[in-house]
Structure 1
Amino acid sequence: MHFGRPSGTAPFKLSVLSAGGTGVGMTAGEGLAGTISLARTADRRGYHRFWMSEHHGMGATSVSSPSLMVARLTAETARIRLGAGGVMLPNHSPLLIAEQFGMLEALAPGRIDLGLGRAPGTDAATAAALRQGADANDGFPQQVLELLGFLGDQFPSGHPYRHVHAVPGPWQAKENRVPAASTVPDVWVLGSSPYSAQLAGHLGRPYAFALQFGDADIDTALRVYRENFQPSDVLAKPHTLVSVPAAISDDPAEAKRQAATSAMAMLRMFKSEGYLLLPPDEVEAYQATMQERQILDAYTNRSFHGTAATVADRLEALHERTGVDEVMLVVGGHSATLDQRGITLIADHYALPCLEAPLSAA
C-alpha cells in the first residue's frame, strides 16, 4: 500500500472527494470541467488523494463512472493519488472492474485507488435498472473476493475462473516477462456501518468511513474494524479514513449558504423530487415546513462549514476522538469556485506545499 507521512502540520493526511457537482444552471460539461480543475488544485496544493463517487440518475452529479474520470485525471495531475470512492461493485462485473483499474494503474503506476461500496448510488428504480432486479447486496463479500482474485491473478486450483485473467494485470506482466510490481491498484472497503467495517477487517484492507451519510455511527464501525482486523499481504495494521461534508470560505455566512444547498438536495431526495443543487438564494427563499426545517438544519449543521480555522478545529476534534489516519473533504455545493477556494484555504491553514503545476495541466 502507499501510506506516507502527513504533509504540513495536520495530524492526518488530507484528501478530497467530488461527485462531479453540477448545480442548477450548469451543464454536465461545466460540472465535469469543475471537477478537473478541482483535481488540479488538489494536486498542486499537496493533497494526498482525489476520489470521485459513483452516482446514477442524480441531476446534481455528473460522474456516473469514476473510472472514466480517473483516466482523464491521470493526464491532468502528476502526484496525487486518484481513485473511486467508490465503485458500487454490485452494479458491475468484478472482472470488468479489475480490467478497468488495471488499465488505470498502467497509466499512472502507484497512484490508483479502488474503493468498493455496495450501495447502488441511486434510487430504487434506477438500482433495479442497473442490477436487473438482482439482490446484489447479499453477494457483496463474494464479489469483493472475486475482484481481488482477478486483480491478483490468485484464484486457487479448481476455481472456475482459475484460467480467466484480467488484462492488464499480473498475468499479462508474467506472460510478457516484465515486472509486475505496479499492476494492481490499492483496494479499499468503503461504508458507513459495522457490516463494511467487519468485512474490511477480515480482508486486511484499509477502511474508509462515510460520515456524510445521515447519523452514521463512526465510533462503533471503527471499533469493529480494528477488533476484526487480520494482517494481510498488503496491510500489517488497521488503516482508516473518514470522509466529511465540507464547505469552507473566508466568509462563514457564505460557507453556511453553500452547505445549505447540499442539505436542500438531501431534502429533495427524501421527498423523491430529485437530487438537485439549487442556488443559495433559492434555498434561502424556500418556505419549509417545521419537519423540513429540521432536516435542512440537521444536514447543514452536520457539514463542516465555516472558515478554514473553524473547519480545522472540527477536523482535529474528530481525529482526536476517532484516531483516523486520513480525512477526506467531500465538496460539492452549488459553487465550484467556492469548492476550489475552500480546499485552498485548508491547504494554507495546514501549510501544505504549493507545488508547481504539471506540464500536462498548464
Structure 2
Amino acid sequence: MTSTSPAGLRLSILDLAPIAPGDTVAQAFANSVALAQAAERHGYQRVWYAEHHNMARIASSATSLLIGHVAGQTSTIRLGAGGIMLPNHSPLVIAEQFGTLASLYPDRIDLGLGRAPGSDQATMRAMRRNPMSAESFPQDIRELQGYLSGDSLIDGVQATPGAGTNVPLYILGSSMFGAKLAAAYGLPYAFASHFSPGLLHEAVAAYRAEFTPSAQLASPYVIAGVNVVAAETSEGAREQFETTRRILVRGLITRAAAGAPDYTDAEIDAFLTTPNGRQLASMLTYTAVGTRDEVGAYLTTFAKEAQADELIVAHQSTRIADRLASVALTAEAV
C-alpha cells in the first residue's frame, strides 16, 4: 500500500539517524529501524538515508550499511540513499554496494545522488576527496549507470554485484544545476527544500520544462523535501519544533565556531531574532507544525505549489516516540 492523497501524492521519509542528546549511536540505529517499520505499517513509499560526515548528531554516514541493516528488519518498503554524495566515491564501488543491496532485497532499493561533499573542508581532506571531483559528477553518473545496467563504459570492468540490477537513480539538489542535469538525463529529481528552500520553484519549473524521457523515466517526477512535526495538539507540536530548532541552530553555531560555548535556550532564542539567526531559521521555511489536520492542509498546499509528485518528509521531533507519532498522524492526514 502507498500513502497518497486523493490526487495521488506519494509520501516518504528522510531519516538522518539522529543521535538525540543522551543517546548512543546504537540507539540511533534502533530508532531508524523502528521508524522504517512504522513507515511500512502506515503505507509510506520509501525511507531514504543521507550521507553526512563529521557531524556529531548524525549517524547515517555509512549510508549503504544502514540501508542494509534496516532492509533486513523490514519487508516491503523501499529503502535508499537520499543521497550518496557521488564525488566522495568511485562509481564502481557505489555500483557494487548498491548492486549488493539490490541482490539481497530485490525491487526495494533506490539510489539518490548528490554532488556536495556532505561535510566541511577539513573532512573532505580526511576523506581524500579531490576538490575538483564535483566537476565530473555528470560523467560519473553515466559511468555508474553503465555498471548497473551491465553495459559498462569502461572496457574490461564490470560491477559484480551490480551489473543488470538497474537500481533506479535519482538526482538530488538544491540548485539549477541538479534540476537541469536530471532533466537532461531523464531521471527523477529530488529537491532539498527541507533545508535549502531558496530555488525550489525555479528549479522544479526548469526540470519540468526541459525534461527528456529516458529508459528509466518517461515523464518528469519531482520529490520535494519538507519538515514535519505532527502531534495531538498544536501546542505540543510547537514545543517539539522549538526544541528541535534550538538543537539545530546550536549545532550549526558550534560547527561554525570551534570552541563555541554551550548556549542556553534563551541565548539561542535571542540569536534567532538577529539577521544571522533569521537566516539560519530560514533553512526550515518549509515546515508543517501542528495537529494531523493542520499538517495535512499544509502538505497538500505545499505539494501543489511545489509541483511535487511525492513529498519526502523529515520528521523533526527529538524523541523517537514523538517521531513515531508524527509518522502515524502524517500518514492519516495525507
Name the CA shift for 1:131/1:266 in 2 (closer, same or farther; >3 Å). farther
Asked if structure 1 preserves the Cα contact closer than 8 Å seen for 2:32 and 2:70, the reply is no
Q: State which of 279, 301, 309 in structure 2 corresponds to 1:317.
A: 301
Aligned mates of 1:115, 1:333 — CA distance in 2: 24
- AA aligned to 1:186 is P
Q: RMSD across aligned C-alpha pairs, in angstroms? A: 2.3
Identify unmatched segments of 5+ residues in structure 1: 171-179, 276-281, 351-362
What residue is the counterpart of 1:249 in the other structure? 231
Describe the shift of the 1:253–1:235 C-alpha distance in structure 2 as closer, same or farther (beyond 3 A). same
Amino acid at match of 1:324: A
Using the alignment, how far apart are the partners of 1:135 and 1:265 within structure 2? Answer: 33
Further displaced range: 255-264 or 195-204? 255-264
**Which residue of 30, 38, 63 corresponds with 1:41?**
38
The Cα shift of 1:285 comes to 6.8
- Is 1:103 aligned to residue 85 of structure 2? no
Structure 1 counterpart SS, 2:317: coil
Moved over 3 A (4+): 4-11, 272-275, 282-287, 295-302
| 1:250 partner letter | E
Give the unaligned 5+ runs of structure 2. 258-263
Q: 1:265 to 1:295 in 2, by over 3 A?
A: farther
TM-score normalised to structure 2 length: 0.90
Is 1:71 aligned with 2:65? no
Residue number in structure 1 paired with 2:253? 271
* Matching of residue 28 in structure 1 with residue 12 in structure 2: no
Q: Which residue of 2 aligns with 1:177?
A: none
Equivalent residue in structure 1 for 2:183, among 178, 201, 220: 201
Q: Higher mean Cα deviation, 287-296 or 244-253? A: 287-296
In the TM superposition, what whole-angstrom CA distance separates every residue of 1:264-310 from its partner, at most 9, and x where no partner exists? 344335434379xxxxxx64674623416534654555422111211
What is the distance in 1 between the residues matched to 2:114 and 2:88? Answer: 10
Question: Contact 2:182 / 2:207 at 8 angstroms: preserved in 1?
Answer: yes
SS in structure 2 of the partner of residue 69 of structure 1: helix
RCO comparison, higher one (Cα < 8 Å, 6+) = 1
Q: Match for residue 230 of structure 1? A: 212
* 2:155 matches 1:162: yes
Following TM superposition, by how much is the alpha carbon of 1:101 offset from its aligned partner in structure 2, in angstroms? 0.4
Aligned to 1:357: none
Q: Percent identical across equivalent pairs?
A: 35
Give the alignment's TM-score, normalised by structure 1: 0.84
Map 1:113-152 to 2 at 5 A.
113-152=110-149
User: Is 1:349 matched with 2:333?
Assistant: yes
Question: How far is 1:245 from its partner?
Answer: 1.4
1:307 to 279, 286, 291: 291
Contact 1:49/1:82 (8 A) holds in 2:
yes
Which residue of the partner structure matches residue 215 of structure 1?
197
The number of equivalent residue pairs is 327
CA distance, structure 2, for counterparts of residue 271 and residue 137 of structure 1: 27
CA positional deviation for 1:142: 1.4
Query: Is the 2:2–2:43 contact (alpha carbons within 8 Å) kept by the matching residues of 1?
Result: no
2:55 is equivalent to residue 58 of structure 1: yes
**Structure 1 residues 298, 43: CA separation in 2 closer, same or farther (over 3 Å shift)?**
same
Q: Hey, what's the Cα distance between the residues in 1 that align with 2:265 and 2:95? A: 42
Structure 1 partner of 2:261: none
Q: Which moved more, 1:249-258 or 1:64-73?
A: 249-258
Q: Find the partner of 1:334 among 309, 318, 327.
A: 318
Matched to 1:130, the amino acid is: M
Shift of 1:323: 2.3
3-state SS of 2:255 partner = coil
CA 1:143–1:300: 2 relative to 1, 3 Å? closer
Q: Which amino acid aligns with 1:193?
A: S
Which residue of 2 is the match for residue 81 of structure 1?
A: 78
Partner Cα separation in structure 2 for residue 233 and residue 214 of structure 1:
30
Cα 1:314–1:134 shift into 2, 3 Å: same
User: Does the C-alpha gap of structure 1 residues 268 and 128 become closer, same or farther in structure 2, counting only changes over 3 Å?
Assistant: farther
How far has the Cα of 1:185 moved from its partner? 1.3
Offset at residue 348 of structure 1 (A): 2.2
What SS class does the counterpart of residue 118 from structure 2 fall into?
coil
Mapped to 2, the partners of 1:84 and 1:239 lie a distance apart of: 17
Q: Which moved more, 1:128-137 or 1:196-205?
A: 128-137
| Structure 2 partner of 1:240 | 222
Cα pair distance change 1:212/1:252, threshold 3 Å = same
Distance in 2 (CA, whole Å) between partners of 1:52 and 1:260 is: 24
